[in-house]
Structure 1
Amino acid sequence: MLIQRSPNGVDLPFSSEITPREIYEARRAFIKRVAVGAIAGGSLLEMATREAFAQGGNPKLAAKLNPAYSALDKQTAYKDATTYNNFYEFGTDKSDPAEHAHTLRTRPWTVSIEGEVKKPMTLDIDQLLKLAPLEERVYRLRCVEGWSMVIPWVGYSLSELIKKVEPTGNAKYVEFVSLADKGQMPGVGSRVLNWPYVEGLRMDEAMHPLALLTVGMYGEVLPKQNGAPVRIVLPWKYGFKSAKSIVKIRFVKDQPRTAWNVSAPSEYGFYSNVNPDVDHPRWSQGSERRIGEDGFLARKRKTLMFNGYADVAPLYAGMDLKKFF
């Protein structure tokens, strides 16, 4: 993770817009201390990361844009993407995560990989960051409630991690378990869902190159309200399938019992692919509102099958997608 400045000394976009002045000035002071040798021992990457988190800011991430997986749509403004969220561990209102997620402690953080694998392991967040080269991918994300965003995510294909742990022939599904800590997450005390939050994918879905193990957005480490420090992003599925603040990844024989499918099976199927032909029982899924662009009174845009990611269609060849919704 690199804290970057432009060649002419002017901060890169967002540094002063989304971070309090005292924080980004502290970052500058830290870089200056490193340059004159005031801090010894450890790598610059690790020291910069510790310093940035201690100051409450989000370090920069060095990631190259992958144009093969980048939508050309206008990107959602950072402010909108970080203040209008679903993250029920911090409350059910869209503004709750941004207001309450400051209590989340993202360091230290480990993710255990277990189950039907030849090489089970536990990795801390720094090991996950270094497991494969980071990429920036601009993905559309569609919420089951009928709104959407376009976000530049940072991470690498989930398949990179899967190949490292070598799943056995018994591994048919991948289960993701999110942190559920009442001390850090006030929403976990509610009865809106059975905690912890659990999501899952079929193995071939998890191996698809679009499935992104995500550690950042907008060139920075993930904000806490957006699922820090590590989450999944699945652009062809409704947003709730993209598990946040993951602490465990399990490879299993049987289809996982996922949070929303358990809570309301008639409304939220296991697959939850974006499908404009299958309405939610309480509203249409044929159109959507792009946050920051489409006002409540404006005509909504048409929702595309698989959210426009036709590359995933072969995964579901021969399936009745109204039955397996």
Structure 2
Amino acid sequence: MFSRKHRPWQSREADITPKGLYLDRRAIMAGGGAMALAGLTGCDAQSNALAGQQAGSRQRPVNGSLDFSPTDYSVMDDQTPFPAVTGYNNFYEFGIGKDDPARYASALTTDPWSIDIEGLAGRTGRFALEDVVDFTSLEERIYRLRCVEAWSMVIPWIGVPLSTVLSAFQPSTDARYVQFETHLDRDEMRGTRFPVLDWPYVEGLRMDEAMNELAFLAVGLYGEVLPNQNGAPVRLVVPWKYGYKSIKSISRIRFVSEQPVTSWNRSAPREYGFYSNVNPDRAHPRWSQRSERVIGGNVFARRDTEMFNGYGEQVAHMYAGMDLIENH
């Protein structure tokens, strides 16, 4: 259960885009063009999803809308337009261009989908996505996602708290970290045919970070099922860290005792640390992190980068006494 206590990083209900506006699928399809979800089936899909949930089914909808409960997790900034969210992406498994994921990610098969649970936990094995994410208890959270390339988006995510998912697998007291791995299919994911990174993509969190109330597993955005280019069918969202920590298309979760090696840290350790907390005082070797470009608005619009992406009240205690320049 979430507390309804108002926090400084939350907006008033009146500041949030009315749900009816961003669930207007006809407007989304008209504005998104080729970037929109070609498989949406509108009211029929929503009716089928709701009927399944009312019958107690945990089966996820393949297309269409998701049923969810709104929460108070939000930010004050305007939400990024749907076409920008689904058309401007980093997902190197489909290419290094920002428009490559929207062009090529449709090749990825996301149903059926399973996730391997491994390591220091009471329950391990291969589980269907529906047995990892409870699709009858989805919530909406509006989080800012900030990229290390100094741009940001504000996205209404749909999903479940990461802590709920991890707790169900009974991690042992020796599990100090959790490692995530992206699905790897060189036939469907054309970018993995090139040695841009050491595939598969791997990320990780300290266990207290993973159990923080803000960490989230997303299966949708803007009320719709998660588009492939945004990490379908399930991705991590860690809003106080740079976007590359929010690993997409998760196929493996591993509970480990030692800090795991992560993809970007292995590839360029001087530029990408394990923690990857948003920190305007820690300059990237090739650009400043003190401000960020807001995607989807005025091309010249920038905002000051906030420490921990504005979520310091909820997460700063986890890094007390750490050198956040060295531990970047």
Give the alignment's Cα RMSD to 1 decimal.
2.9
What is the deviation of 1:43?
A: 6.0
Distance in 2 between residues matched to 1:22 and 1:308, nearest whole Å = 31
Q: Distance in 1 between matches of 2:92 and 2:37?
A: 30
**AA in 1 matched with 2:237:** V
Query: 2:318 corresponds to which residue?
Result: 315
Match of 1:37 in 2: none
Once the two structures are overlaid, the 10-residue window that deviates more, 128-137 or 150-159, is 128-137
* CA distance in 2 between partners of 1:312 and 1:239 (Å): 16
- The question of 1:116 aligning with 2:120 is answered yes
Distance 1:245 1:324 in 2: 27
1:54-77 Cα offsets, whole Å, 9 max, x none, are xxxx3211111111x211321000
2:158 matches 1:136: no
Q: How much does 1:146 deviate? A: 0.4
> Match of 1:141, SS?
strand
Q: Does 2:191 match 1:180?
A: no
Query: 1:47 Cα shift?
Result: 8.2
**Aligned partner of residue 165 in structure 1, secondary structure:** coil
> Is residue 73 from structure 1 mapped to residue 84 from structure 2 by the alignment?
no
- Distance in 1, matches of 2:236 and 2:289, equals 23
* Corresponding position of 1:218: 222
The offset of 1:193, in angstroms, is 0.2
CA distance in 2, matches of 1:251, 1:210: 19
**8 A Cα contact 1:16 1:24, kept in partner:** no
Q: Which runs of 4+ in 1 moved over 4 A?
A: 19-32, 42-48
Counterpart CA distance in 1 for 2:252 and 2:304 is 36
Comparing 164-173 with 142-151, which one deviates more in the overlay?
Answer: 164-173
- Residue identity in the other structure for 1:319: M
Quote the residue 2:304 is aligned against. 302
Aligned pairs (5 A) from 1:154-165: 154-165=158-169
Question: Where does structure 1 lack aligned partners over 5 or more consecutive residues?
Answer: 1-9, 35-41
Aligned equivalents of 1:287 and 1:30: distance in 2? 41
How far residue 45 of structure 1 moved from its aligned partner, in angstroms, is 6.5
State the match for 1:62 in structure 2. Answer: 67
Percent of pairs identical after alignment?
Answer: 51
What is the TM-score when the length of structure 1 is the normalising length? 0.85
Normalised by the length of structure 2, the TM-score is: 0.85
How many pairs align?
301
- Residue identity in the other structure for 2:69: K
> In 2, distance between residues paired with 1:119 and 1:47?
21
* 2:14 matched residue in structure 1: none
- Structure 2: distance between partners of 1:76 and 1:154: 15
CA shift digits 1:108-138 (9 cap, x unpaired): 1001111000121432122233277211000
State the 1:22 CA deviation.
Answer: 12
1:63-111: per-residue Cα shift (whole Å, max 9, x none)? 11111x2113210000000000000000000000000001000001001
Counterpart Cα distance in 2 of 1:250 and 1:22: 31
Which amino acid is 1:320 matched to? D
Q: Are 1:192 and 2:203 matched, yes or no? A: no
Alignment of 1:14 with 2:25, yes or no, is: yes
2:131 corresponds to: 127
| Higher Cα radius of gyration | 1
Aligned match of 1:167: 171
> CA distance change for structure 1 residues 30 and 154 in 2, over 3 Å: closer, same or farther?
closer
